[in-house]
Homo-oligomer: A and B are copies of this chain.
Amino acid sequence: MNTFGKILTLTTFGESHGPAMGGVLDGMPAGVDIDMERLQRFVDRRRTGQSVGSSTRDESDKVEILSGIWQGKTMGTPVGFVVRNDDARSADYEQLAGCYRPNHADFTWEAKYGIRDPRGGGRASARETVARVVAGGLAIQVLDFLGITVTADVEQVGDSTDHFDEIIASAVSEGDTLGGIIRCIVHGAPAGLGEPVFNKLHAQLAAAMMGIPSVHGFEYGDGFVMATKRGSEVMDVFERREDGTIGTKTNHSGGIQGGISNGEDIVMRIALKPVPTLMRDVPTVDRDGNPLTLHARGRHDVCVLSRALPIVEAMAALVLLDNYLIQKTHVL
């Protein structure tokens, strides 16, 4: 259940305070040039300490490719990779072994497995996403070759659509945390990608985004607002363009109709809840239900929006490339 995708599959592993995070990206088409420096730069965008309000945990996040790429090209074989954990301070987390942090996965994890690694959240840590960013960074390079680009940006932090640094600084000063909204746009995807029934392209994108830690909402095109409109207000009328192709005059549909891309920009919005770890005393209970107070320690983000951008791009890229490859099987 740690595998994502159908033809292009990513399987990840790793706990926050174990020796390494890593993954296997399988199904990459053979013979594609890979720029390793570009990949590392992409992964670095997810690192901490890059912006106000992010954790001070310092990981070099050096990508180590173990297979699948040789002489700068994909070989068609699975790309195995690891990213070492070199700044794990487990002692910070010892008090956490016996209690459940609110809005974290401590309680549910124990309910599921009957056992839990309390060091830095174990596998429930957002550090797990580094493997997705490595894999997505590889997929992005293939998409580039195909003329498809994926771009995410921060649309909203908390209830604010600008002055992000100011609102984050304010939350820091109060020991509080923030969430927000990310918009992601896929440009250049050809019409025809996706599946028409269960695996609609937006259903796959929704699953990909909802699988990112802290995400609580997903919409594409006009999304929730579209539900409040009349049909006549959101109709994307077709037209013949100057180059002879057929497109739509507007894009309320967000580039997808009937679960299949229509050649317009694919537009989606992703809602992230506020970071669950406050820099305040927090009441909770231990395993026996006894009340106790949690004095937050460790190094935590106040707002993860900017760090989440490459994760969103990575997951979108994995979905798009997988569907691009699958589409090759639908017509002889």
> B271 touching A219 by the CB < 8 A rule?
yes
Pick from B1, B209, B274, B276: contact of A26, CB below 8 A: B1
Residues of B within 8 A of A178 (CB): 230-231
> A26 touching B14 by the CB < 8 A rule?
no
Q: A151: shortest Cβ distance to chain B, in Å? A: 20
> B27 touching A1 by the CB < 8 A rule?
yes
Residues of B within 8 A of A253 (CB): 103
Interface positions, chain A 189-248, Cβ under 8 Å from B, are 190-200, 202-204, 206-211, 213, 216-224, 226-240, 244-246, 248
Q: A117: shortest Cβ distance to chain B, in Å? A: 5
Residues of B within 8 A of A128 (CB): 197
Q: Given the interface contacts A67-B123, A216-B219, A229-B274, does A12 sit within 8 Å of B78 by beta carbon?
A: yes
Interface positions, chain A 86-141, Cβ under 8 Å from B, are 100, 102-105, 107-109, 111-117, 122-124, 128
> B115 touching A327 by the CB < 8 A rule?
no
> B102 touching A236 by the CB < 8 A rule?
yes
Q: Given the interface contacts A227-B272, A236-B102, does A115 sit within 8 Å of B207 by beta carbon?
A: no
A208→B112 CA distance, assembly (Å): 22
Extra inter-chain contacts (8) besides given A202-B210, A216-B254, CB under 8 Å = A11-B11, A18-B67, A100-B238, A112-B330, A124-B196, A156-B227, A217-B226, A240-B288
Q: Does A278 contact B (CB under 8 A)?
A: yes
A9→B262 CA distance, assembly (Å): 26
Q: Given the interface contacts A67-B14, A75-B113, A260-B108, does A271 sit within 8 Å of B227 by beta carbon?
A: yes
Residue of B nearest to A197 (CB): B2
Residues of B within 8 A of A60 (CB): none
Residue of B nearest to A160 (CB): B228
A64→B174 CA distance, assembly (Å): 44
Q: Given the interface contacts A112-B192, A197-B12, A271-B223, does A238 sit within 8 Å of B67 by beta carbon?
A: no
> B216 touching A223 by the CB < 8 A rule?
yes
Q: List 15 A-B contacts (CB under 8 A).
A: A4-B198, A11-B78, A13-B77, A14-B67, A19-B64, A75-B122, A76-B113, A80-B82, A108-B257, A158-B228, A176-B232, A232-B280, A239-B291, A240-B290, A252-B273
> A24 touching B2 by the CB < 8 A rule?
yes
A209→B21 CA distance, assembly (Å): 31
Residue of B nearest to A315 (CB): B198
Q: Given the interface contacts A218-B206, A246-B100, does A67 sit within 8 Å of B13 by beta carbon?
A: yes
Residue of B nearest to A221 (CB): B216
Q: A221: shortest Cβ distance to chain B, in Å? A: 6
Q: Does A149 contact B (CB under 8 A)?
A: no
